[in-house]
Copies of this chain bind each other. A is one copy, B any other.
Amino acid sequence: MTRASKHTFARTFLRKALDEIPLTRAMQIVLRDYDGDRLSLSAPLAPNVNDKGCAFGGSLASLLTLAGWGLVVLKLKALDLDCDIYVQDSTIRYLAPLWTDLIAHAELAGGESWDAFAATLGARGRARLRLTCRAPLAEGGDACTLDARFVAIMRKADDAG
């Protein structure tokens, strides 16, 4: 797939998943970019402000976690692996207030590999993976970072079996 077709696939597929979560509609989350390795989501500031007028920490945590979850969903879909995907744990660091629209980038954490993840999934039916997600500031640097661990569990081909 070209980058443009990856983006179109991601937009169609993720839109359906995100539309099933009422809070993502309230946050007005949209796909910004997907190149096969990095997924970027964005959301306008207005529905995501806190009492101080900058980005609400809960919105940032939700957007970063969804970017990570969406990346795992898209990667496994591309590998034709039918899995349930859950976030297991995460650590978020709030580094600076964000006064603009929210952007979240998600990619593999250092030392992780999609090949090893897929091989473990095939062999054991479940596998874990760490992603690193960040919300950049317009002026450079990050408003916050999130390190998250996801678990994928293969769906049974025949639930009655």
- Shortest Cβ gap from A88 to chain B (Å): 6
Query: Which of B26, B59, B84, B87 is within 8 Å of A57, CB to CB?
Result: B87
For chain A, give the interface size range. Answer: 20 to 34
User: Are A48 and B62 closer than 8 Å at their CB atoms?
Assistant: no
Which of A23, A84, A90 is packed against the most chain B CB atoms within 10 Å? A23
- Shortest CB-to-CB span from A21 to chain B, Å, is 5
B59 adjacent to A23 (CB under 8 Å): yes
Bound Cα distance A18, B121 (Å): 42
Contact, CB under 8 Å: B48 / A84 = no
What is the bound-complex CA distance between A87 and B90, given in angstroms? Answer: 15
The answer to whether A58 and B62 touch across the interface, beta carbons within 8 angstroms, is yes
CB distance from A45 to the nearest CB of B (A): 10
Q: Does A52 contact B (CB under 8 A)?
A: yes
17 cross-chain CB contacts under 8 A: A21-B51, A21-B56, A22-B26, A23-B23, A23-B47, A23-B59, A24-B58, A26-B26, A56-B62, A57-B65, A57-B87, A58-B63, A58-B65, A61-B65, A61-B92, A89-B93, A91-B91
